[in-house]
Amino acid sequence: MTKARDLANLIAAGNPLADGAISVAEISDLTASAAELNYNDITTLGTVEASKVVTADANGDVKFPDGEKAIFGNGSDLQIYHTGSNSHIKDVGTGILLIDASSQIQLRSAADEIYIQCVENSDVKLFHDNAEKLATTSTGIDVTGTVVADGGDITGELIADSYNETYAAVTSSSNATTVNCENANSFSHTLTENTTFTFSNPPASGTSYTFSIEIIQDASASGYTVTWPASVDWPAATAPTLTATASAKDVFVFTTRDGGTNWYGFTAGQALA
């Protein structure tokens, strides 16, 4: 029988110090040997339940076997336990479950990949495969990637006070430039040479994607031309002629719903000031 069990038996019999059966020094020794204590040593009614052993190891860790709960609150309000299959933090009482942190909270995987990150006085971020996809801002949200609504990843409507699209300027090199559909929905390009366009990374077939591009002639009225991708279908199968005057602005809109196999092109305005 361990010292801890000796102490339990003496406590059950009365005052363990009354007849000198156990000394203060031995009690201190028992305290130092807390790793010996388990559910079998001390029970409320002196009943041994060998199948339910809660132990404390030499590191000070308290170990609960599967199905045993750490319970807090007069009404068993908060419960922490593992069933053998799943781990649970269960709030079954009144009020709400609060998790407080002085600066930041992260919900992470066992491999330290972040699912959700919350920063005090700042943003809340959602991650996909440890890559940030959505963050709150002081004015709304910032999305990295593609937003798919109604029939895709979000069922229903997206309603916002203001909807803003990302803008990007593209440049050419060796008479070629690329509009990367993942970068924005609004583009501009100032001509410095005759340029052939490529549209890259449209969303997969079945998802509609539309972008606009502002084509700006150079200040010398060089009259540079543009060659659009062969996949673009223009009204009457005829691509528009660019305005050739100095710094002239023409705006065009392109849309696809089959992953960029076919694009429909439209002139939104030409010879804009």
CA atoms within 13 A on the CB side of 118: 6
**Is it the case that residue 10 has pLDDT exceeding 80?**
no
Quick count: other Cβ atoms within 10 Å of Cβ 220?
Answer: 9
Q: How confident is the model at residue 165 (pLDDT cuts 50, 70, 90)?
A: confident
Given this model, what pLDDT does residue 43 score? 47
Q: Would you list the domain boundaries of the chain?
A: 1-62, 64-98, 104-143, 167-272
**Helix ranges (DSSP H) in 14-112:** 24-32
Please identify which residue in the block is written with the tokens 């997969």.
Answer: 204
Q: How confident is the model at residue 273 (pLDDT cuts 50, 70, 90)?
A: confident
Given this model, what pLDDT does residue 162 score? 75
Q: How confident is the model at residue 168 (pLDDT cuts 50, 70, 90)?
A: very high
Any residues with CB less than 8 A from the CB of 70 and at least 6 apart, and which?
64, 79, 80, 81
Given this model, what pLDDT does residue 30 score? 53
pTM for the structure as a whole: 0.57
**Helix ranges (DSSP H) in 38-106:** none
- φ/ψ of residue 263, rounded to 5: -115, 145
For the segment 29-48, the average pLDDT, to the nearest whole number, is 49
> Whole-number mean pLDDT of the chain?
84
Percent of the chain clearing pLDDT 70 (strictly above): 77
Given this model, what pLDDT does residue 209 score? 93
Q: At 74, list the tokens.
A: 């007069």
Read off the amino acid at residue 217.
Answer: Q
pLDDT digits (tens, 9 = 90+) for 51-85: 557 788 888 888 888 988 999 998 899 999 999 99
Q: Which neighbouring-strand residues pair with 132?
A: 127
Report d(CA 216, CA 192) in Å as an integer.
9
Q: How many residues does the chain have?
A: 273
pLDDT digits (tens, 9 = 90+) for 196-239: 999 999 999 988 999 999 999 999 999 999 999 999 999 999 99
Q: How confident is the model at residue 7 (pLDDT cuts 50, 70, 90)?
A: low
Q: What is the DSSP letter of 143?
A: E
Closest CA to 123 of 137, 140, 141: 137
Cβ atoms of 93 and 78 closer than 8 Å: yes
Cβ atoms of 168 and 201 closer than 8 Å: no
- Determine the angle formed by the axes of helices 24-32 and 3-13, rounding to 10 degrees: 130
Report d(CA 221, CA 32) in Å as an integer.
90
Cβ atoms of 234 and 226 closer than 8 Å: no
Report d(CA 190, CA 26) in Å as an integer.
88
Q: Which neighbouring-strand residues pair with 89?
A: 80
Q: How confident is the model at residue 45 (pLDDT cuts 50, 70, 90)?
A: very low
Closest CA to 189 of 175, 169, 173: 169
Q: How confident is the model at residue 13 (pLDDT cuts 50, 70, 90)?
A: low
For the segment 172-200, the average pLDDT, to the nearest whole number, is 96
Read off the amino acid at residue 166.
Answer: T
